[in-house]
Structure 1
Amino acid sequence: MSLLNFTLRCGQYRSALGALNPLTRSFHSSEIVMARQVKKVATPSKKMLAAKARRKAKGKKSVYDSEKMNLADAISVLRAVEVARPTTTYELVIKTEMKKGVTIPRGRMALPREPKNMSQDRILVFAEGRHLEEAKKAGADIVGGPELCDGIISGRHRATVFLCIPSLLRAITPKLGRFLGPKGLMPSERRGTVTDDVSTYIRRLKGSSEWKGDKSGVIRTPIAKMDYPVEDVVKNVRYFMNVVKRATGNIQDGAEKGRKENANKPSTAIQKVILSSAQGPGIQISDA
């Protein structure tokens, strides 16, 4: 049998078998179905993003708004939580808004009833003449003139508070400005550490403690003991809030309102006030 006849016979047998078995699938060629194309998402413009942010900020509400309490109720809750620890301490946390160029709030205070032992500051005074004698009598630890600058830089003279009379400020600034400035210890008229009434300032320092915020504008301070009467706790909180509000420009005294530099100085907003304890929750105060 020739090759041609064998091929034809095989074709006939194949067609006959296909007719007998109807389930046999016949393959055929067809056009390739294209996969579904995903539409590209258009990149929103800056104008659209800004509008979306405004809508989001307008409808945004803090989840803690419903958890605010007045001061008296917050004190009662924390006293109940700390019933087994009567000597623990209330902590007051104040969050201030730190915008670009705003200085970190800081100052000194003497609470009506102190919850901790007063820290003993080491006071250095730049003075001469009668001011030098007044500083010594008031209890300054180190007193002298510009000759103290080298000892301060070398670490021989260590202090936590630096005072200066106005006549010596220009003499010490070139040497100590870059050394004490970043530490927040450089004598300054704004902070009240440049004064002719050195003795009064030293006596005030002896009975007060320093407070200051961190880089994010959060101020933390122990405000009272758990076993204090509620009236004493409220008095301490109110007093410290007034001190912070004055330091941040939210309250101005009559003398401060007349100054031009304070008239143009923007105030730093107080965003929230929280009272807490060692084992208790942090409670946001509504009437601080």
Structure 2
Amino acid sequence: MPKIVMPMSALAVNKLKAVGWHAVGGVSGLNLQIREPQNKDSDSPMPKSWVLRTHIGSKRVPLGLGSYPQVSLAEAREAAKRMLDAIRQGIDPRVQRKEIKSSLMASLAKNKTFKECAEAYMDAHSAVYTSDKHRKQWSSTLQTYAYPIIGNMLVEDISMRNILDVLTQDVKSEAGEKLGDLWRVKTPTAQRLQGRLKTVFDYCIVNEYRKGMNPASWDGFLDTQLPSPSKIQTKNHHPAVPYVNVGEFMIHLRKNKSISAKALEFLIHTAVRSGSVREAEWSEIDFESKVWNIPATHTKTKKEHRVPLSNQSIKLLKSIT
């Protein structure tokens, strides 16, 4: 038969100083363990902790209940009673603690802010940006318009109303005068922002950082709250030379002997993007086959591209070699 220990008072427990195990009574198996300090030469207090020594199945095990005096005598006795009740019901407190810890860690891993997710997405997809400028545009748009409003919010807590707050925030002039909201004053910028917000939330949903709908979706969601961009802003196309006037334009262009003018003429002959022209190298030109082999690194699609060169293009290139 186990020895019955008379319950100690809080004052008596406070006076315990000897190293070892001290049964405090009140709950069978409840002990205060006192250990030597790690540095015996210092004046640090002796570490004291509550331990419930009991049986789980046929094995006697120690179960920690916290440090003393952070956990009082009364709190230790109450915790020990709950633990013994759980054991009697067939629950292993050690397994239960691991499950709670795992659940907490999983929960913390999913508690991501919008800023954390946006930066993680940009880092994970850095290879898809067409240029460093493209990456900076993504980052700048979010930093300017999204982070001040939802940057520190958990993505799980962000609603469509929060997205509307971002897209309809006030736009002011340099003098501080209110010009209107972002969606109506800077519609193209707001459109790009909405698309980037949606992409980040798609990333969050796939990674299980949030559940349910994407709060930045346009169809069926934001389109019920915001006017269509086409109804807000009239498209103003860049000025262009009429096709019938191209010949006359080329005559004037060739009078300009700068390398920039020759680059523009080459662009007109080949109908490629200006970036590919600016980054072109002589090693890409096959004069014999009259082909321009543009490497993937010099294209927006990141795919190699072959461009047939006309006699005028070859003549132009030879004039600057």
TM-score interval for Structure 1 and Structure 2 normalised by the shorter chain:
under 0.3
TM-score by length of 1: 0.22
Structure with bigger helix share is 2
TM-score by length of 2: 0.21
